Amino acid sequence: MNRIPSSRVPSLRVPSPRTVLMLGCGLLWLVPLYLLLVNAMIPADAYPGEPSWVPRDLALWENLRTAWTDAAIGDSFLNSLFYAVVCGAAGVVVAAMAAFAVVVLPVPRPTLWFWVIYSGTIFPLQMFLAPLFGLYADANLYDSRLGLMLIYAAWAVPFAFFLIRNQMATLPPEVTEAAMLDGATFRRLFWQIHVPLLLPGLGAAFIFQFTAVWNDLLFGITLSRSPEVQPVMAALTTLNSAYGASGPPVILAGALIVSVPTLLVFLAFRGLFLRGITASAR
């Protein structure tokens, strides 16, 4: 009887701890998503009162329509999309200018300015709510789009500044010196040389700030109240109160609508995001 050489016997590969950890994290993320989809399909008047693990009906479209039109979450969805795009982009541009000033311009004590700007990420947001509410009430900015845009843009600056400044510090100084020898002004140096070189970092910072503004609830419920101004997360809490008696399916359908934009942004720009994070971590 011929024996198979031991070198040809296939051996079972034991997954590494890293693989097990990643699979566990993926499972922890997929299980709530599965429950969200399954229970959002149940008709609101037929909800059994406890989460269902097995799909029963196909009322997802009806629940989505109810959440979008009848519960008026569509207006707040467009508000948040406007806030996230405009304020995220404005915050990234201001942060890039601040990083350029700290790294390139001959400003005195650049390290001090770095910590002054970056300190905006250290303090908890709750400590700003009372002064902001009083200031907005006195300045007639409460429950206005301009008021939310100002706080969202300012909120986006410190962390975006941290990412962009780290990437800008890795650029070779010879690039700046050569451009200045050719007569380039600081404005041209920023817009035509540094901004194109920093596109991955700018993209990663924008994705972070888009997600942060989109997921904001604290400022939304504190500084606004009307559906024409409220962001979508604040509207989702209103949906929870208004449709709580009809069961979670409509609320879960609204949560499904809310989760789509950030997922699409990450899927569409994941390559740019990874390049930006890698460049900022050097």
Domains of the chain: 16-63 (no CATH), 65-280 (1.10.3720.10)
Across 3-32, average pLDDT = 73
Q: What is the mean pLDDT of residues 144-148?
A: 92
Lowest mean pLDDT among 31-40, 140-149, 151-160: 31-40
3-class secondary structure for 209-237? HHHHHHCCCHHHHHHCCCCCCCCHHHHHH
pLDDT at 4: 52
Query: In Å, how far are 103, 106, 214 from 170, measured between CA atoms?
Result: 10, 17, 30
**CA–CA separation, 266 and 158 (whole Å):** 21
Q: What angle do CA 212, 218, 222 make, to 5 degrees?
A: 135
How many Å apart are CA 38 and CA 252, to the nearest integer?
A: 10
| One-letter identity of residue 77 | F
H or E stretch at 239: helix 232-242
DSSP character for 56? -
pLDDT at 44 over 90: no
Instruction: Return the percentage of the chain with pLDDT > 70, whole number.
Output: 89
Residue with tokens 């001959």: 106
User: Encoding tokens for residue 94?
Assistant: 């201001």
Size of the chain, expressed as the number of residues it contains:
282
Instruction: Record the tokens describing residue 87, joined without a space.
Output: 């304020």
Residue 18 clears pLDDT 80, i.e. is over it: yes
Residues with Cβ < 8 Å from 204, sequence gap 6 or more? 163, 272, 273, 275, 276, 277, 280
Instruction: Report the C-alpha gap between 99 and 12 in whole angstroms.
Output: 52
Q: What mean pLDDT comes out for the span 105-116?
A: 88
Cα 13 to Cα 9, 17, 19, 23, 243, distances in angstroms: 12, 12, 12, 16, 51
Rounded-to-integer distance, Cα 80 and Cα 219, Å: 12
Cβ contacts of 162 within 8 Å, gap of 6 or more? 118, 121
Residue 7: what pLDDT? 53
Interacting residues of 188 by C-beta distance below 8 A, sequence separation 6+ = 179
Q: Contact 85/153 with Cβ under 8 angstroms?
A: no
Output the pTM of the full model. 0.81
Give the confidence band of 175 by pLDDT, cuts at 50, 70, 90. Answer: confident
Burial (CB count <10 Å: 0-12, 13-18, 19+), residue 108? exposed
Give the confidence band of 254 by pLDDT, cuts at 50, 70, 90.
confident
Phi, psi of 254 (to 5 degrees): -65, -40
As a whole number of angstroms, the distance between CA 202 and CA 156 comes to: 12
